[in-house]
Copies of this chain bind each other. A is one copy, B any other.
Amino acid sequence: MSKWVTAYAPASIGNLGVGFDMLGLALQGAGDRVSARRVDSTGISVAEVRGPDGKPHPALSTNPLENTASIAAQALWDAQSEPGGAELRVFKGVPLQSGMGSSASSAVAGVVAVNALLAKPLPIAELLTYALAGEKYASGGLHADNVAPSLLGGLVLCPPALLPATISLPVPTGVSAVLLHPELQVSTAAARSKLATRYSIDQWLEQQGYLAGFIAACAANDINLIRDTLKDVVIEPQRSAAVSCFVEVKSAALQAGALGCSLSGSGPSIFALAEHHHARNIASAMEQACSMTGIECQSWVSPMTAPGAYVETEE
């Protein structure tokens, strides 16, 4: 029998509030696994998709044309003109439509696993293009703010105009990410289609100024400047109403000392950045505020240096 290769790819915080479509952060503690092995049939197939409970996933298909893991893996397979095929088993750890980059995690784990089956595996950074092919299926756009941090780890700047190049940013020391996932679902593609398509020069410049300042703040390790710039004045106001607990959770995070708080991706997940010693308290405050609105939730605290995808086992 051919060997099974299992790859892990973390969840991620898309946009990171301040950098719509171009900034993302890897999250430690939640991720997807994809196992892959060579088979004689041609192309990539999906043997099974299982949920966190170990049972067949109720929502995800094993049709290889409808799963981001197989779509991404197939793109890599085709580009390498690899003969034969591979079979995938997908283990979803990231909740769907959560704003935690679920489709990106599967796409990244899929390409990283299948890459290890190749005669000549590619360097990890070169897999971005193929992972993006999977992500594009799920979200409808070519943006890498989940795929890039899931693949590469840490904080990644990925302006669409520079793809497939991405920029791994220095992260401030002593700062953690907090992520709260309320038990709600938001469709990324639907959320995107509702955004205004034109903006005033003042809106554009205000948001651009925050992003520029945030990147400078990360490079200079300037905590106060992170607090002054971690803002989304353009996208968040258009999306937050779809997340019924948002106002309460954000308010609780800021009151507990968060440096900033916004939607993770298109939501419903909500993230905050915080100094290490406040992070656990802030997570508790966000959970409590969410529960008070009657919505179940779960939270994670993660360093800003969370590792990206890797091959976990080959056996």
Majority-rule SS of A interface residues: helix
With a cutoff of 8 Å between Cβ atoms, the chain B residues found around residue A228 in the complex are 162, 165
With a cutoff of 8 Å between Cβ atoms, the chain B residues found around residue A210 in the complex are 159, 161
With a cutoff of 8 Å between Cβ atoms, the chain B residues found around residue A219 in the complex are 170, 215-216, 219-220
A→B interface (CB under 8 Å): 19-23, 157, 159-162, 165, 167, 169-170, 195-201, 204-213, 215-217, 219-220, 225, 228-229
Whether the pair A216, B169 counts as a contact (CB closer than 8 A) is: yes
What number of copies of this chain does the assembly contain? 2
A232 CB, min distance to chain B CBs, angstroms: 12
Q: List 20 A-B contacts (CB under 8 A).
A: A20-B205, A22-B205, A157-B216, A159-B208, A161-B206, A165-B228, A167-B213, A167-B216, A167-B217, A169-B216, A170-B220, A197-B200, A198-B199, A199-B200, A199-B201, A204-B204, A204-B207, A211-B212, A215-B216, A219-B220
> Pick the contact of A160 from B19, B167, B206 — CB < 8 Å?
B206
With a cutoff of 8 Å between Cβ atoms, the chain B residues found around residue A215 in the complex are 212, 215-216, 219
Q: How far is the CA of A216 from the CA of B165 in the complex (A)?
A: 13
A152 CB, min distance to chain B CBs, angstroms: 14
Whether the pair B204, A208 counts as a contact (CB closer than 8 A) is: yes
A221 CB, min distance to chain B CBs, angstroms: 11
With a cutoff of 8 Å between Cβ atoms, the chain B residues found around residue A206 in the complex are 159-161
With a cutoff of 8 Å between Cβ atoms, the chain B residues found around residue A159 in the complex are 205-206, 208-210, 212-213
**A159-B212, A219-B219 are known contacts; what are 6 more A-B pairs with Cβ within 8 Å?**
A21-B205, A22-B212, A159-B209, A167-B217, A204-B208, A215-B216
With a cutoff of 8 Å between Cβ atoms, the chain B residues found around residue A200 in the complex are 197-199
